[in-house]
Structure 1
Amino acid sequence: MSSTQSLSIGIAGAGLLGRLLAWQLSRAGHRVSVFDVARGPGPVFRSQADDSDVPTAAGFTAAGMLSPLAELDTVEPAVAALGWRSIALWRDIAAALPQRPMFRSEGSLMLAHREDLGAAQRVLERLRTACETQAWQNLSPPEGVQPLELARLRELEPALQGPAHAWLLPGEGQLDAVAMMMALHDDSPGAQWHWSRPVRCVEENGTLHFADGGQAAFDAVIDTRGVGAQASRQGACASASPVFDVRGVRGEVIWLQAPAHGLTRLTRLLHPRHGIYIVPRSPDLLLIGASELETEDRSPASLRSTVELLAAAHSAMPALAEARILRLDVNLRPALPDNNPCTEWRGRCLRINGLFRHGWLLAPALTEQAMQLTGWLK
């Protein structure tokens, strides 16, 4: 297929990847149709009364962290390298959207209490080792992790009064995940959005099969259903790829109202049992979360996990004592057996899945690679 001709492209899944691809392809002049199980473009949080039967995109639940250096603790350097590329791409995307959703890249912080210094040093050593690999060095990334004196930490972030040790990770950043999801949807000229239309199967011949028994043919199709791609295995899809043995990994995020909290940077607390993060979404809103739980359970957050998350966040930021809990959100992130993302282009079908807990970090770089692979953008 020539990149100079206008194609009809069907996208299964209106999550982060689906919206980003719809935005790019529709702007390039392609005729894009997007199909999703959701009732509409906005989020449905798990704390809402009508959320029991229809899942919402994992991109809405995420904190929007852009932390490739920190992720070297658990991912391969080549995967984290995609994150550095994505930060540059997100900067351009945010600037191109009329709504100008929040995007920042002033760096992030790692913190540790005095008693947790040993565990923190083991994490820092893993980061240092990963930064010495050739895959990472080829990037010419910003400087590595920088120790911060407590006086300097207080200058940068006066609200962080609890920890005894701190490190700065230059170049890392964050964005407003909900605002970005909505902006990508609203600024996709000509894209057709089909809600409450779940896709059961995506065929290599360019056909989408729907749960209601219908089907539609396109010049090309894209499968970005995430955990929803499990439906292809359950539903006798002749060309379901064995590469995408996707599972759901639970993530929990707590939304806190904390007027004039003062925090400006994404902050991680290096804890022996949990990877706790505190993300300032606005001057009055913070998101608190942890890494992942190996379960496909979508039930509400437990008392234990909620108490542990909030206690750890409060220990780093004492002013949170008077914060108000707005929402306890739960969702499933799509992961493959090796926890790495995978892109496959076969016949007239493009599949991207397995972004795990790195969706916002990796999505722009993966879509850029996919467009180069297919030749759909000039």
Structure 2
Amino acid sequence: MRSLLPSLDSPLSIAILGAGLMGRLLAVRLARDGHRVQLHEAGGPDAQGSAAHVAAAMLAPLAESAVTEPGVVRMGQHALARWPELLAQLAEPVYLQQEGTLILWHRQDAADAARLQHTLQRTQHAVQGLPALQALDGAGVAALEPAVAGRFHQGLYLPGEGQLDNRQLLAALGATLQQLGVDLHWHSARAPSDFSPGTKDQPDLVLDCRGLGARAHWRQLRGVRGEVVRLHAPGVTLQRPTRLVHPRYPIYIAPKQDHLFVIGATEIESDDLSPASVRSTLELLSAAYAVHPGFAEARILELATQCRPTLPDNLPAVRAAQPRVLEVNGLYRHGFMIAPALLDVVMELLQTGQSPLASRFDLSLQMAS
């Protein structure tokens, strides 16, 4: 890897393509370390074209182990420790909560819940350091989350998991980039082929973090569509992210500040960015109402669709397909949960030419031969 990438031993000129979550994190870190950073983004500073703008930003490695591999779970563990450190360095405050995850189900879905519990227990045996999940009866559910008392008679509590406010974070990263003097190029779509890194008047290094914007270059990428509704529900108080087990539409409800709730579930193999369907919207809202009837009087602030950049194995990858160009992609539905781990892997590669963390995370490092 060292033969393909320049060393960070002295200040470099670095071009970063894509100002979603990964691009912003890398730009802040590299600028703070004294490098000259230019950031190119096809959209505007609000990041509306990125998957990160729509996401619920849950930090739930054990909960997500139901749909991913142990390496991603380890990345999530790493991120839970790293996010407080990263947020403390930003120019603006960002909401971060680590009150665990609550999983609920109705009696008729007990068999699905039992299968999920078995999967989570298997993960705990495979990945060291995860807090033990706790099985709850009705009284335990009521004590942990009084707002749903009497409606659910069983549940699972996953301690230590968390969430943050995705849009506050993107804005805080943007403000920090300005504070650090990063050369920001909005509405400036660029590809690695637009640069000749290492030559006169060109950057020393290009980092490609464009997500689905890199499909023409990384042809294995595909979009996985998700639909998310944002509600303002003054009549609902939930203390932590809550997930509902259901055979057709399992949902998550992520409570943010000031009675704002981000609710999602759908995962469709499509890069279609048209508005949400009536069926998906009804299922999301019906499931939310099943968790708490107070959602009936909530106000719909936004119904958004976005596609997550996904590789064939649904796992992230870092590759150097050509000299002085490093690509980070395939964060799928786990962007906020794994981004700090990927940040630290990239920094190891640039600083030493290798990454022990990548091995710990079972992360694919693809290098040109």
Task: Tell me, yes or no, whether TM beats 0.5.
Answer: yes
1:215-263 CA-partner distances (Å, limit 9, x unpaired): x82100001000000133xxxxxxxx5xx61111101110101115211
Instruction: After TM superposition, give the deviation of residue 69 of structure 1 in Å.
Output: 0.3
Distance 1:303 1:43 in 2: 26
- The answer to whether structure 1 residue 35 and structure 2 residue 26 are counterparts is no
- The answer to whether structure 1 residue 221 and structure 2 residue 206 are counterparts is yes
- In structure 2, the partner of 1:122 is 115
- The answer to whether structure 1 residue 173 and structure 2 residue 149 are counterparts is no
- What is the TM-score of this pair, normalised by structure 1? 0.87
- Give the counterpart letter for 1:172 in structure 2: E
Q: Contact 1:163/1:315 (CA < 8 Å) preserved in 2?
A: no
Distance 1:367 1:323 in 2: 37
- The answer to whether structure 1 residue 59 and structure 2 residue 57 are counterparts is no
Root mean square deviation of aligned Cα: 2.0
1:306 maps to which of 281, 284, 288: 281
For residues 1-378 of structure 1, the aligned pairs below 5 Å read: 1-38=6-43, 40-44=44-48, 56-133=49-126, 136-137=127-128, 140-143=129-132, 145-161=133-149, 162-188=151-177, 189-202=180-193, 206=197, 217-232=202-217, 245-345=220-320, 346-375=322-351
Distance 2:269 2:84 in 1: 32
Distance 1:84 1:267 in 2: 19
Q: Contact 2:232/2:259 (CA < 8 Å) preserved in 1?
A: yes
Change (3 A) 1:114 1:247: same
- Give the counterpart letter for 1:217 in structure 2: Q
Q: Contact 1:12/1:199 (CA < 8 Å) preserved in 2?
A: yes
Instruction: After TM superposition, give the deviation of residue 206 of structure 1 in Å.
Output: 2.4
Change (3 A) 1:196 1:290: same
- In structure 2, the partner of 1:211 is none
Change (3 A) 1:203 1:365: farther
Distance 1:28 1:91 in 2: 19
Distance 1:43 1:206 in 2: 26
- What is the TM-score of this pair, normalised by structure 2? 0.89
Distance 1:260 1:217 in 2: 56
Q: Contact 1:204/1:349 (CA < 8 Å) preserved in 2?
A: no
Instruction: After TM superposition, give the deviation of residue 155 of structure 1 in Å.
Output: 2.4
1:61-114 CA-partner distances (Å, limit 9, x unpaired): 000110100111111111111001011111111222231200111111111111
Q: Contact 2:141/2:154 (CA < 8 Å) preserved in 1?
A: no
1:29-84 CA-partner distances (Å, limit 9, x unpaired): 1111111110x21144xxxxxxxxxxx11101000110100111111111111001
1:127-162 CA-partner distances (Å, limit 9, x unpaired): 1112212xx12xx2222x211222232222222243
Give every structure 1 segment of 4 or more consecutive aligned residues whose post-TM-superposition deviation is greater than 4 Å. Answer: 202-205
Aligned length: 344
Unaligned runs of 5+ in 1: 45-55, 209-215, 233-240
Distance 1:96 1:372 in 2: 20
Q: Contact 1:260/1:283 (CA < 8 Å) preserved in 2?
A: no
Partner SS, residue 92 of structure 1? helix
- Give the counterpart letter for 1:369 in structure 2: V
Q: Contact 1:202/1:223 (CA < 8 Å) preserved in 2?
A: no
- Give the counterpart letter for 1:256 in structure 2: L
Q: Contact 1:101/1:180 (CA < 8 Å) preserved in 2?
A: yes
Unaligned runs of 5+ in 2: 1-5, 354-369
Change (3 A) 1:110 1:207: farther
Instruction: After TM superposition, give the deviation of residue 164 of structure 1 in Å.
Output: 2.7
Instruction: After TM superposition, give the deviation of residue 172 of structure 1 in Å.
Output: 0.4
Q: Contact 1:249/1:292 (CA < 8 Å) preserved in 2?
A: yes
